[in-house]
């Protein structure tokens, strides 16, 4: 999903630097790796850290921060549902 955000962000008028695109690609690769490991309890903590890193990528460009907020809200909802189901 993160990789799909590159083109719309560019179309909105955001001129992403090479560093911003590189960070976004790296975070996407980590996200895909973590998605396959969600059975392990530590992966949920790593996913939370990943959301924080995505928010910090907003320092490279404001649109990455907006994307980070959206994904953090989805992550918070998924964590809530997980807690309710496991409780």
**How many domains is the chain partitioned into structurally?**
1
> How does pLDDT run across 6-58, given as a tens digit for each residue?
777 777 666 777 887 888 888 889 989 998 998 998 999 999 999 999 899 88
Domain carrying residue 11: 3-86
Cα–Cα distance, 80 to 65 (Å, whole number): 22
Task: Please say whether the beta carbons of 20 and 82 come within 8 A.
Answer: no
Residue 12 is predicted with a pLDDT of 67
Predicted structure pTM score: 0.78
> Nearest-5° angle of CA 87, CA 31, CA 79?
20
CA 37, 43, 49, 55: dihedral to nearest 10 degrees?
40
13, two tokens? 């008028």
Residue 11 is predicted with a pLDDT of 73
- If you average pLDDT over residues 65-83, what whole number do you get? 91
Residue 9 CB: number of other CB atoms within 10 A? Answer: 21
């Amino acid at each position: 999903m993160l990789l799909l955000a590159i083109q719309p962000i560019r179309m909105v008028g955001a001129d992403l630097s090479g560093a911003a695109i590189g960070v976004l690609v790296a975070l996407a690769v980590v996200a895909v790796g973590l998605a396959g490991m969600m059975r392990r309890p530590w992966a949920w903590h790593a996913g939370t850290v990943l959301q924080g890193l995505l928010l910090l990528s907003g320092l490279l460009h404001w649109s990455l921060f907006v994307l980070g907020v959206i994904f953090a809200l989805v992550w918070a909802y998924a964590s809530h549902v997980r807690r309710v189901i496991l409780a």
